[in-house]
Amino acid sequence: MSFLPKPKLHHPNLPTNKLGYTRRDYEGTISTLCAGCGHDSISAAIVQAVFELEIEPHRIAKLSGIGCSSKTPNYFLNPAHGFNSVHGRMPSVATGANLANRELIYLGVSGDGDSASIGFGQFAHAMRRGVDMCYIVENNGVYGLTKGQFSATADRGSKSKKGQVNADEGIDLVQMALSLGATYVGRGFSGDKEQLVPLIQGALLHRGPALLDVISPCVAFNNHEGSTRSFDWVRAHNEAVNRLDVIVGRDEIVHAQEPGTVDEVTQHDGSVLRLRKLAPDYDAHDRDGAISYLAERKRAGEIVTGLLFVDPEPSDLHAALRTPAAGLNRLGDAELVPGAAALAAVNASLR
């Protein structure tokens, strides 16, 4: 960690967005994570993504659990709302907040330990219920904060820093999210912001459960030979199926120019996801196809990244529960507590 705050002075040509903010206005306090931690790059990508989307930071609620990854909301979007919950419980808090207040954009930040071990059930239910949120798992294969034990996402056969071999099967949260009904699923790498920033943008704009599994090397405990989450390993085995550009209104945000055929997806809010295909036969609209493609590539030792599945017409928890458009926090006591007569009517309808 650094002891000093990041200097306020910035580049004289630093651009402002239409709100008049610079990218620097989307930062948080200085990170206390280990120097070089992949999580810090994800924070930088979130800053970049929200700045470019021209969203006021206070329209976002950042929610997290426990872990190095879950500490990061302090390091971006300083003026945003935030809730640092207990270990593995971020999805519950996100679900409650989302039901209460429909005006915020929910950004959940969790770790592989937080989401695939203690919070695995929470994760599963947020996905299957369809909580409208951008759920980012900063996946380093270890419990960073508690000094590097294997997490449940660590690949079978990968080695710890001290040489122990992981005997258990690793949970693939992308596979889980696909089977559990998430409507926007992607995988990125902290070391590739050109790919990651638009993935985050698309997920923030998506009006349904969006999961991003972001491989994020832990430089302190999982960046050695034998690890499958090290910078070197991920760079060598990264198989990007597509590149994404997110287009909001008329302003196109172009991140990189690469060849390939183009697949345009118009999301419900009018934003366009432009997918430039790198794997020619990969279809990001085919949930089952994605599941088997991922399983096949995993056997081949590859890490598939990109926007892996998107449903342009998602449905969410509010639709399922038929909650009022305003959100629970806008209702008065009379509506929230309709009284014994209303309860009797409900009970009668179920007899």
Ligand X SMILES: Cc1ncc(C[n+]2csc(CCOP(=O)(O)OP(=O)(O)O)c2C)c(N)n1
**Binding status of residue 217 toward ligand X by CB under 6 A:** no
Q: How many residues bind other proteins (CB under 8 A)?
A: 34
Beta carbon of residue 292, minimum distance to other proteins (angstroms, whole number) = 31
Stretch touching other proteins by CB under 8 A, among 28-36, 257-265, 269-277, 316-324? 28-36
Q: Are 51 and 71 in contact (CB under 8 A)?
A: no
Looking at this protein, which amino acid is placed at residue 145? Answer: L
Q: Which does 170 bind (CB under 5 to 8 A by kind): ligand X, ligand SF4, other proteins, none?
A: none
| Residue from 61, 63, 68, 211 binding ligand X (CB under 6 A) | 68
Beta carbon of residue 222, minimum distance to ligand X (angstroms, whole number) = 8
Beta carbon of residue 76, minimum distance to ligand SF4 (angstroms, whole number) = 15
Quick one: 140 or 201, whose CB is closer to ligand SF4? Answer: 140
| Residue from 14, 100, 103, 146 binding ligand X (CB under 6 A) | 146
**Binding status of residue 219 toward other proteins by CB under 8 A:** yes
DSSP conformational letter for 331: -
Tokens of 276: 């430039």
DSSP track, 85-136: -STT-HHHHHHHHHHH-SSSEEEEEEEHHHHHTTTHHHHHHHHHHT--EEEE
Q: Are 264 and 272 in contact (CB under 8 A)?
A: yes
Quick one: 61 or 109, whose CB is closer to ligand SF4? Answer: 109
Each residue 34-73 as x (binds ligand SF4 by CB under 6 A) or -, in order, gives x--x-x----------------------------x-----
| Chain residues that interact with ligand SF4, rule: CB under 6 A | 33-34, 37, 39, 68, 140, 144-145, 218-221
| Chain residues that interact with other proteins, rule: CB under 8 A | 1-4, 6-14, 24, 30-31, 34-38, 40-41, 43-44, 190-191, 193, 217, 219, 223, 231-232, 235
